[in-house]
Structures are given as C-alpha cells and as structure tokens.
Amino acid sequence: MKAIRLHQTGGAEVLQLTDVTLPPPTSAQTRIRVELAGVNFIDIYHRRGQYQVPLPSGIGIEGIGSTHSGERYFWLNAMGSYAQEINLTQEALTRIPDHAPPPAALLPLLCQGLTAHYLADSAFPIARGDSALVTAAAGGVGLLLIQILKSRGAKVIAAASTKERALIAENHGADISGVYSEISEMVAESTSGHGVTVVYDSVGKDYFDRCLESLATTGMFVLYGGASGPVPPFDLMRLNPRSLAIRRPTLSAYTATSQERERRLAELLTLRAQGSLRYPDAQIFPIADARSAHHLIESRTYSGKIGLDPWKI
Ligand code: NDP
C-alpha cells in the first residue's frame, strides 16, 4: 500500500510517498481502509522535528475509514494516517453515525470541531453573558469555536493577523473583530473596561501578555496551542493581583472515551443541522500532493480544513 513516510525531519520535501508493507493487525487491532486523512498543525510539528518522533515514521494522526465489513469509523490520535491502510485498536476508533455527512464535510468536525467543542464546553464551560476573546479566529478551530460560543450566548471578540481574516471571523458571528495589535482596545470597548471572562488562545508566545492583560478579575486563560512558539517560563505571581487562572489543555484528555467522542460529535452534528455551525467542506489533496497540503497550512492564508485522499496518487 502507499503511505507518506518521514525518513528525516525538515521542510515539506521530507514527505515521501512510499510503498509500504503493513504488518498484519495484532489480535487487539483492526485493519482500516483509510478514506480520508486529516492534515493538522501538529503534523507540521512532527515533520519539522519540533515534536520528536522516532524515524523512520508514518505521519498524520486523524482519519476517516472503514473495516472490511463496511463499518465506518474516525480516529484522532493514530500516527501513520497519511496512508491507504492503518491498523488501529478498538479504543482508538469511534463509530461514525449513519446520519453523518460525507467525509469532506465530516472531517472539519473531527480534530478541529471536537477541539472547538471541548474548549467551549469543558476547558472553560462558557455561559450566557460571558465574554470571550478568541485568537487565530480565522483558523479552522477558531471559526467553529466562535459559532459554538455564540450558540451558548457569549459575546465574542475575535483577533486575527489581517483585517481580511478578522472579517471572516466577524462573518462567522464574532461581535467585534480586529488584528492582534487591536486586542486591548477591542476588549476595553466591548467590556466597558472590565476585561473578558475567558481567553481562548492558540497563538502562544507572540500575544501572550496582551491576552493576559485582557482578562477580567478571576478570568480564565485557556492556552491551547503555540502557533507562534511556546510561551516562555512564567511567574505564577503574575496571576495573583486579579486571581487569574491558566489552563493548558489537550484534545486527548477531553476525548478519552468513545462515549465522550460520540457525545461531542453528536452535539456538533445537531448544531450543523440547525444551521448554527457553518463551514466549508475540507479541501482535499491527492496523497501524492501532501507537500502542497503542508505548504497551504503553513501559508496562514487558508481558513478551514485540509485533507488527503490516499487513493488519489
Ligand atoms: P489553522 O491552521 O486553521 O489555524 C492556525 C492559525 O494560527 C492560522 O490560521 C493563523 O491565523 C494563526 N497563527 C498565528 N500565529 C501564527 C504563526 N506564527 N504561524 C502560523 N499560524 C499562526 O489550524 P487549526 O485551526 O486546525 O488549529 C489551531 C491551533 O489549535 C493550532 O495551533 C493547533 O496546534 C491547536 N490545536 C490544539 C489542540 C489542543 O487540544 N490543545 C487540538 C487541535 C489543535 P492568523 O494568520 O490569522 O494569525
């Protein structure tokens, strides 16, 4: 079967389409035929060597596929998903409900959608009347998060790198949007100077101080990524004068069981059916063009989800 393999870390050129012999599944595993693999920011970290993986290695953690008997599943955390086939344990697999949309419309609701859901539902359960600052607001997670926060009655302040990207966030329901340098004035204006209840930030290093300053007394900082680099070591006493809190969550902790994954996906599908969750289908590249998919995700020009079709060479 064909798969993308990493023999070394580096730029997109290290993504190599290779003929691979997959070992037979162990007694705990099932052989899955991959329909679509998701492309995620974490794949870039793996490719560059920022998150280390033993080489040679497969790449890609997310996918949609089926067993020989036709049962359809998705998975979120299985290295080697840029491939035509993969062996997975039952615990890693979650059944796709019959009423789910086709793969390109389902894919955005997996890593991105489930992340947006757990952020608003569990990492800091948003309540009617809360105010939230969302950074990387025009990204895939950001646009879904804005809509979930609005569906739960929050006021949303959205920040992105350009005016055009900020406007995309506003078109998805943000009450006010602007570029990162406008965060302080947007927050002051829309909270009468009090600050926001919660910050959901995945940019990390570049705007950390500005985001922290935006919080109201007893506010919560949910730091769920570091697209600009990790936040440097931090003096906890900086939280003290306003009794602030910081959470550094990860998707796997909030999707540990298939019941939890099914519950979150069911809520996302309900929002979608109600018209409260709008997003484009994933943009699908042939697996042979995985490098272009990585270039696009790194370009900061794309809003949405990117996938690979392993059967298009
Ligand atoms: P996207 O590529 O769609 O969005 C990432 C966004 O980050 C970009 O659109 C870009 O928007 C912004 N950004 C800010 N600074 C930089 C930078 N220096 N380089 C590149 N991008 C930058 O990705 P997703 O929406 O799929 O994921 C969003 C974030 O969430 C990622 O950082 C990812 O690692 C994280 N994540 C965390 C999870 C968790 O559980 N903790 C789970 C899943 C994802 P702009 O140009 O407008 O700033």
- What per-residue string of b and e applies to 197-217 under the rule 16 or more CB within 10 Å gives b? bbbbbbbbebbbebbbebbbe
pLDDT above 90 for 64 = yes
Higher pLDDT, 227 or 132: 132
Token match 């009655």: residue?
153
What is the CATH number that goes with domain 2-102+281-309?
A: 3.90.180.10
Average pLDDT over residues 220-237: 95
Q: How far is the CA of 139 from the centre of ligand 1 (A)?
A: 6
Q: Which 8-state DSSP code applies to residue 121?
A: I
In percent, the amount of the chain with pLDDT more than 90 equals 97
- Closest-lying ligand 1 atom to the alpha carbon of residue 42: 34
pLDDT above 90 for 288 = yes
Q: How far is the CA of 226 from the centre of ligand 1 (A)?
A: 7
Alpha carbons 191 and 262: distance in angstroms, whole number: 36
17: tokens are 């389409």
- Per-state percent for the chain, helix, strand, coil, to nearest 5: 35, 25, 40
Q: How far is the CA of 59 from the centre of ligand 1 (A)?
A: 18
- Closest-lying ligand 1 atom to the alpha carbon of residue 165: 47
Q: Ligand 1, residues 144, 203, 208, 297: which to mutate, most atoms within 8 A of Cβ?
A: 203
- Closest-lying ligand 1 atom to the alpha carbon of residue 142: 25
Q: Do 159 and 142 touch, CB atoms closer than 8 A?
A: no
Q: Do 37 and 60 touch, CB atoms closer than 8 A?
A: yes
Per-residue model confidence (pLDDT) at position 301: 87
Beta pairing, strands 29-39 & 306-309: antiparallel
Q: How far is the CA of 75 from the centre of ligand 1 (A)?
A: 20
Q: How far is the CA of 137 from the centre of ligand 1 (A)?
A: 9
Residue spans in the chain of domains classed CATH 3.40.50.720: 112-253
Q: What is the residue with the minimal CA distance to atom 11 of ligand 1?
A: 136
- CA–CA distances in Å: residue 262 to residues 63, 100, 216: 15, 12, 34
**Radius of gyration over alpha carbons of the chain, in Å?**
20
Q: How far is the CA of 22 from the centre of ligand 1 (A)?
A: 32
Per-residue model confidence (pLDDT) at position 303: 87
pLDDT above 90 for 224 = yes
pTM of the full structure: 0.97
Residues with C-beta less than 6 Å from any ligand 1 atom: 40-42, 111-112, 115, 136, 138-142, 160-161, 165, 202-203, 224-225, 227-228, 249-251, 297, 300
Residue spans in the chain of domains classed CATH 3.90.180.10: 2-102+281-309
Q: How far is the CA of 203 from the centre of ligand 1 (A)?
A: 6
At the topology level of CATH, where does 112-253 sit? Answer: Rossmann fold (3.40.50)
* pLDDT tens profile 153-171: 999 999 999 999 999 999 9
| Model confidence band, residue 302 (pLDDT cutoffs 50, 70, 90) | confident
